[in-house]
Structure 1
Amino acid sequence: MTDSQLIEQIRENNDLAFRALINKYKNLVYNTAFRLVRNSEDAEDIFQDVFLEIYKSCDAVRFDEDLTVWIYKIAYNKSISFLRRKNPAKASNNNNDIANNELKLIEKNHPAKQLEQKENITTLYRFIDQLPENQRKVLLLHKFEGLSQKEICEKLDMSEHSVESLIYRARKNLKQKLNAYFKLNS
């Protein structure tokens, strides 16, 4: 079933179509929220808010726009709004500040080993966020959303060569950043 068919059926209050939409986009929504808030419980709350918003506003979907992009924007905006509500004084678009605040909370609640793992994940996300937009987008779709290169080509209307090249450069840039970071901090 295509995205436009799903939306049409959701508009007609078809619960099975809405469940199919959730199943199709659950990874995108959860991973986007988790990447920003870096807390699984908060990401789950945002996940629910995002799909509630999608259900309420599916009449606003235009069929000439990419549903994935529309859903991603909702997930991103809900995550940023959550962060601003949670701590308005410290909320910013700077993911480094967000990551540092989250690490401080983790230090109080978890053993050192889990903190070290969280720091590594936070560092990885920080470096992913520093990649050029096209590289970041393609890498996230490939590695975090599990899309094949062919699916990414269709989604982003790019040639296979472009997608392959962007994935290669994203990995190379990320590897260089991580190597430099771990050499400096070891």
Structure 2
Amino acid sequence: MTTNSDQILIHRIMNGDTQVFAVLVDRYKDLVFTLALRMMKNREEAEEVSQDTFIKVFKSLKKFKGDSKFSTWIYRIAYNTSLDRLKSHKRKQQTVEINEFTEHQVKTIDDALNMMEVQERQQAIQDCLQLLPSEDCALLTLYYFEELSLEEISKVVNLKANNVKVKLFRSRKKLAEILRVKLEPEIIESYESTRR
């Protein structure tokens, strides 16, 4: 499942051409950093997690069997490295109360977001993502921003695909609650008045 170019690079590294590892780092550094930043919520710590991730990747490259995408394998290492760091800091994560949402409320929030300018919407989502617990933020990042499948995410977070689906649903509800609170009430009111 690993792309041919990744496999060629891995083979060269395994045969002693360690300089080629820089190409793999270049290829995946943004993906690893984005996931680490969403989980750590701190740029310096995300940079450290990224460095630790690539050190671990290099040291355990011979353990990569190629039965999943190389990117999925790297994501899993980045995810676990972030979790380990979070556990060592024993940070208190902000919790979000999940209220029961009606389909109309979720649709209203989605439609209100669609009315915002694309850039403002992306910034609003990014800001609200930072308010989620790290694991929720990571799941949403992997699914919506990195466009990993449920199967791929299940390999990253070491859960069954059905569990990932349930956790994604809960994470999305938490994000919807944050967005509901953070969005300008006028935007929602304006939208609802146009729908009547």
TM-score (norm 1): 0.57
Counterpart in 2 of 1:96? Answer: 94
Contact 1:10–1:55, Cα closer than 8 Å, also in 2? no
Contact 2:128–2:175, Cα closer than 8 Å, also in 1? no
Secondary structure at the aligned position of 1:65 is classed as coil
Pick closer, same or farther for the CA change 1:76–1:63 going to 2, 3 Å: same
Write 1 or 2 for the structure with the bigger share of helix. Answer: 1
Q: How far did residue 57 of structure 1 move?
A: 0.3
Q: How far did residue 178 of structure 1 move?
A: 5.5
CA distance in 2, matches of 1:122, 1:4: 37
Mapping 1:98-117, distance limit 5 Å: none
- 1:35 aligns with one of 19, 35, 38: 38
Higher relative contact order (CA 8 A, sep 6+): 2
Deviations 1:15-51 (A, max 9, x none): 3320110011001111111111111111111111110
Number of residue pairs aligned between Structure 1 and Structure 2: 135
CA distance in 2, matches of 1:183, 1:63: 44
Deviations 1:118-170 (A, max 9, x none): 99745224299659x6x75341215xxxxxxxxx78x96xxxxxxxxxxxxx9
Counterpart in 2 of 1:22? Answer: 25
Look up the equivalent residue of 1:15 and give its one-letter code: T
| Identity over aligned pairs, percent | 24
| Runs of 4+ in structure 1 over 6 Å off | 172-175
- 1:75 aligns with one of 36, 59, 78: 78
Find out whether 1:181 has 2:181 as its counterpart. yes
TM-score (norm 2): 0.55
Deviations 1:66-120 (A, max 9, x none): 11111001001101111112x23x46xxx536xxxxxxxxxxxxxxxxxxxx997
Q: How far did residue 14 of structure 1 move?
A: 1.7
RMSD: 3.8
The unaligned stretches of length 5 or more in structure 1 are 98-117, 143-151, 157-169
Counterpart in 1 of 2:55? Answer: 52
The unaligned stretches of length 5 or more in structure 2 are 96-122, 153-168, 187-196
